[in-house]
Homo-oligomer: A and B are copies of this chain.
Amino acid sequence: MQWTVPDIRKELSRYTRGDPHLTAQPVGGPLDEAAVAVRRIIEALARSSPDAAHLPGATAELERIAASFEDRIRPVALQLSEMWRGEGIARHDPATGPENPIAPPLSMHDAGDGWAEGTVTLGLPYQGPPGNVHGGVCALLLDAALAVANHLAGTNGMTAQLDVTYTLPTPLYVPLTVRAKQLRQDGRKRYTVGEIVADGQVRATANGLFIAPPASSGKGGSA
């Protein structure tokens, strides 16, 4: 690795009790707006005919925009330290980040009683089996949701184990409720669960074990 990772442990748990938003919210900034436009392009590509006449021209334009961005990008080391200075649950997260076009994004709020909850609708770019969400994308949403629930409970940690059970297919183009809650702590271990619900039926559940960094051990109280 050619960069120094900033020590942002302290900054990872910045949740302010009472703030209804647990994930970074769109602020209409230039990166948010660019991400929204790129998401529209990703969805439209998934719904395009491969022989659509406009594709080559549009691709040439996209390549020109990519090159113009690339002329101005920051070194990874600088961007790494800059991008982590902001909100604890990051604006660039691949599941929840409003600035990341890969993210749907999943926005989560404090639903009370320790539950973090959000609603998201996924289109064809997230497809696995025909008409349904990719199992790995369900796992991505659940891992992110469990991390948000840990954030709500006061301590984050690295994912050590994530077990996902798929009970029913998760449909595309149907609002999905994603919720998670930290059940208990044991030393540096955090035990957290979550689920994805569509049309009132549980589609996938997750059990996660997270290990908090030594410095935050015990923070957020024991369960």
Contacts and interface: CB of A to CB of B under 8 A. Distances in A.
Interface stretch (A63-71, A113-121, A185-193, A214-222): A63-71
B1 A95 contact: no
Contacts of A69: 40-41, 44-45, 48, 54, 58
Contact of A33 (B1, B51, B59): B59
A82 to B, nearest CB: 7
A158 interface: yes
Scoring A37, A93, A94, A126 by chain B CB atoms within 10 A of each residue's CB, the highest score goes to A94
Contacts of A160: 165-166
A50 interface: yes
A37 B147 CA distance: 31
Given A130-B8, A161-B165, A62 B49 contact: no
A158 B142 contact: no
Number of copies: 2
Scoring A58, A147, A172 by chain B CB atoms within 10 A of each residue's CB, the highest score goes to A58
Contact of A52 (B30, B48, B76): B30
A41 B55 contact: no
Contacts of A41: 38, 62, 65-66, 69, 101
Contact of A72 (B34, B48, B123): B48
A67 B54 CA distance: 12
Contact of A47 (B76, B123, B137, B139): B76
A183 interface: no
A28 to B, nearest CB: 11
Contacts of A1: 131, 171, 173-174
17 contacts: A1-B171, A1-B174, A33-B59, A38-B101, A41-B65, A42-B100, A42-B102, A45-B69, A46-B99, A47-B76, A49-B74, A49-B82, A76-B172, A83-B124, A134-B144, A139-B139, A163-B164
